[in-house]
Amino acid sequence: MKRKSLAVLTLALVACAAPVSVRPADPRDVYRTINAYALNEEAMSSDAAVTLARADLVETFDREPVAALRKLHELSLEGDRRERLYALAELSYLAAERTGDRSLFVASAVYAHLFLFGGGPEPLPGPFRRRFRRACDVNGVALARAFSDSDGEFVPQAGRVELPVGSIEIDVPRLPMHVQGFAYDDLRPAAELELTGFRTRAVRSGVGAPLVARRKDGTMRAERRAHLASGSALAVTAFLQVEGEVEDAGKDGLKGRVEFFRPNGARDVQVRGTTVPIEFDVTAPLAIELDEKKPWEKEVSAFLDTDGTDVESAVTMTEPYEPGRIPVVLVHGTASSPARWAELLNEMHDDGYLAANCQFWIYEYGSGQPILVSAAGLRRGIERVVKDVDPEGKDAALRQMVVIGHSQGGLLTRLMGTASGDHFWKTVSDKPFDDVDLTDSARRYIRPVFFFEPSPYVQRLIFVATPHRGSHVAGNWIGKLGASLVSVPSAVARGAGRLARAAVGAGGINLQNFSTAVADMNPESSFIATLGDTLPSITIPMHSVVAIDGGGGIAEGDDGVVLAKSAHLEEARSEVIVHNDHSCQGHPGTVAEIRRVLHVHLKACGR
């Protein structure tokens, strides 16, 4: 079927007896016809077909494709070099598909490289030619397919590869790849992965074969100490540098080397004195992680966790720690998960300035437990990561963090810049903390929950749909039902119970003021009252994204969960309204504002 389609297309282009007709058509159909070529159809482009016909090689290619490639290679040495190199790239790709000979995919990548960057009597191709962009794509896809094994894994092999004419000696880097001491041994071509669920697939146009790199299984202790999220994947691109010209292939042979690039590093490559952008697909690794872990399936169970055993509060990194990059910590909301930051992460990784200067950390926690407990876990998690990755305190970037929180996560975020004094403690007891009879273990647990200073590592806060004055949903019957389903974590109950017994006769303790996150977000709760009326002002920059579902402004609008006036913060340096329901983390307006604020932060940090 494939052979017939090639012949039919070619003959239709060159047969002098073919009738000519014109009829109205959908522009999309016309566009598809004009832009059909080897990567999106089972046929060659009109450019390649015309070149083949001019060389009188149509029938030869149909019968013996390699023989036709050899003849076209010889003709490229005589004239029309650029035109023939492009045809060789596309036709080698088609021949590889037809014959199953992977060396022809290598030939396709080589010819595309020589068309784009090689010397010769004609000038280099202009970027406005269709053949230019097609050659870039053929170069990358052909390289990916040349070294993909039967399991779909990209495994470049060093050595000599025979081309239709001559050969190329290829050098490859040693695998597995190592990133900050961690091995990545499973590389998969992104071009062979179909993705759904993202607003856009963030692919930066350029040269090379975008890949997804999976981390090699290591010891759990090492990964825990590095605070890496389980199953994390990296965006990587392979590029084949080619030394020599087309005439060298049949003499001493060409030389080539495979190089790897990451989007948070060099985003360009030098090719024969020209700076060329590398192509990256940053969405594919993120999609693979989410598809495998499916964190959204555990959101409700994490919220209803009764004893804290199913959800371990932890700060983890999406990629291995690299000194000098400023951490951006993402904190999800109630009955939610890190998956809800997917659109944001997708676009942040696509931004070269942010990717080069930021590292993204995730805080995951049981969102039903008291907010003060979750906030203590966030502080403890940040401190633990910093201590483990920078024990000598040399990395200044770790003291320039940005924390971004959605909904309840925004309240946790706010507490990172807050000095508690004894105000929260007074909501549960009228007895000084040091006068309460507690075991050493209970005291060590309870003190950081109620007594804390602003985090020395955090220098900017961003709130997204955050109920600074409580949530009207948390205060109605739905919130009360949620509160009745969530038990106090056992560790908290033990400490509070001992504290209550110690406080008998001295004013006691009001356990109703220390129960669940839902109760804390009731506009009438002591937590909200203390947060809004008692605590000192936060001195670091703060920014707000307020969601309004439907009409209305700050005074009367809401997102279905939080009133706009509750999400509004007078002290914020900036405030943006997005018209969306409460789950607005991935809204384009939210993403654009966070991106803007991060750019401002980086510039303020001298980046």
DSSP string, 295-359: GGGGHHHHHT-SSSSS---EEEESS---TTPEEEEEE--TT--GGGGHHHHHHHHH-HHHHHHEE
pLDDT of residue 223: 66
Classify each residue of 16-51 as buried b or exposed e, where b means 16 or more C-beta atoms within 10 Å of its C-beta. eeeeeeeeeeeeeeeeeeeebbbbeebbbbbbbbbb
pLDDT of residue 461: 98
In the chain, the percentage of residues whose pLDDT exceeds 90 is 65
Domain 294-604: homologous superfamily in CATH: Alpha/Beta hydrolase fold, catalytic domain (3.40.50.1820)
Tokens of 546: 């307020």
Q: Is the peptide bond before 176 cis (omega within 30 degrees of 0)?
A: yes
Taking 60 as the threshold, does the pLDDT of residue 6 lie above it? no
CB 562 within 8 A of CB 467: yes
Taking 80 as the threshold, does the pLDDT of residue 603 lie above it? yes
Q: Which residue has the tokens 């060590």?
A: 444
Stretch 574-584: mean pLDDT, rounded? 96
Amino acid at 438: L
Residue 150, SS3 per DSSP: coil
Least confident of 11-15, 23-27, 54-58, 106-110: 11-15
Q: How many angstroms separate the CA atoms of 350 and 234, rounded?
A: 13
Q: Which of 334, 341, 331, 365 is nearest to 473 (CA)?
A: 334
Taking 60 as the threshold, does the pLDDT of residue 40 lie above it? yes
Taking 80 as the threshold, does the pLDDT of residue 268 lie above it? yes
Assign 2 a pLDDT band (cuts: 50, 70, 90): very low
Q: How many angstroms separate the CA atoms of 545 and 567, rounded?
A: 8
Stretch 409-434: mean pLDDT, rounded? 92
Taking 80 as the threshold, does the pLDDT of residue 244 lie above it? yes
Q: Which residue has the higher pLDDT, 442 or 578?
A: 578
CB 378 within 8 A of CB 416: yes
Least confident of 25-29, 180-184, 204-208, 269-273: 180-184
Q: Which of 73, 61, 57, 87 is nearest to 166 (CA)?
A: 73
Q: Which residue has the higher pLDDT, 446 or 421?
A: 421
- Name the region of 423 (left: φ>0; alpha: ψ -120 to 50; beta: rest): alpha
pLDDT of residue 505: 38
Q: Where are the domains of the chain?
A: 2-12+35-266+278-284, 294-604
State pLDDT tens for residues 527-575.
999 998 778 889 999 999 999 998 889 999 999 999 999 999 999 999 9
Stretch 260-269: mean pLDDT, rounded? 91
Taking 90 as the threshold, does the pLDDT of residue 266 lie above it? no
Per-position DSSP letters for 523-553, written without gaps between them: TTSHHHHHHHHTSPPP-S-EEEEEE--SS--
pTM: 0.88
> H-helix or E-strand containing 28?
helix 27-34
pLDDT of residue 477: 45
Q: Which of 271, 263, 264 is nearest to 240 (CA)?
A: 271
DSSP E strands in 118-232: the ranges are: 159-162, 167-171, 177-179, 182-189, 203-204, 209-215
CB atoms within 10 A of CB 97: 16
